[in-house]
């Protein structure tokens, strides 16, 4: 039961942050696969400079997603998580 509640809350946060993130420009060097044979497999790319941002590929185009305030994108979970668990280290900062 707890997992279902967590999943619902997470999905709602992603939907809201995706709308807010639309104003953020895609960073240089972020490229999504153009021909994706399995569209059920979601391709997500972490931002190289901002731990609170990740890109979700949509038909070859990167869409900006922003984690809720205080959370970082976890490549292991493919979701936003607490910074201590996400262990994100930006390659280069803005």
Structural domain includes residue 45: yes
Global pTM reads 0.68
Q: What is the pLDDT of residues 39-70, one digit of tens each?
A: 678 899 999 999 999 999 988 889 999 999 99
Residue 5 is predicted with a pLDDT of 46
Residue 66 is predicted with a pLDDT of 96
Structural domain includes residue 58: yes
Structural domain includes residue 29: yes
- d(C-alpha 34, C-alpha 71), whole Å: 29
pLDDT band at 8 (very low <50, low <70, confident <90, very high): very low
Structural domain includes residue 92: no
Q: What is the pLDDT of residues 16-42, one digit of tens each?
A: 455 454 457 788 889 998 887 776 788
Of 19, 94, 26, 16, nearest to 54 by C-alpha is: 26
Q: How many domains does the chain have?
A: 1
CATH of the domain at 23: 2.170.140
Q: Residue 86: which residues within 8 A CB-CB, separation 6 or more?
A: 51, 71, 72, 73, 74, 76, 77, 80
Structural domain includes residue 31: yes
As beta bridge partners, residue 80 has 73
Structural domain includes residue 93: no
Domain range enclosing 65: 2-86
């Amino acid at each position: 039961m707890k997992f279902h509640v967590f999943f619902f809350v997470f999905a709602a946060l992603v939907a809201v942050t995706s709308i807010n993130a639309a104003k953020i420009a895609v960073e240089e060097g972020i490229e999504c696969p153009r021909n994706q044979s399995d569209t059920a497999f979601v391709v997500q790319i972490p931002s190289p400079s901002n731990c609170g941002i990740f890109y979700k590929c949509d038909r070859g185009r990167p869409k900006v997603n922003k984690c809720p305030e205080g959370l970082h994108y976890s490549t292991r979970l493919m979701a936003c998580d607490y910074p201590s668990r996400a262990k994100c280290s930006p390659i280069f900062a803005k």
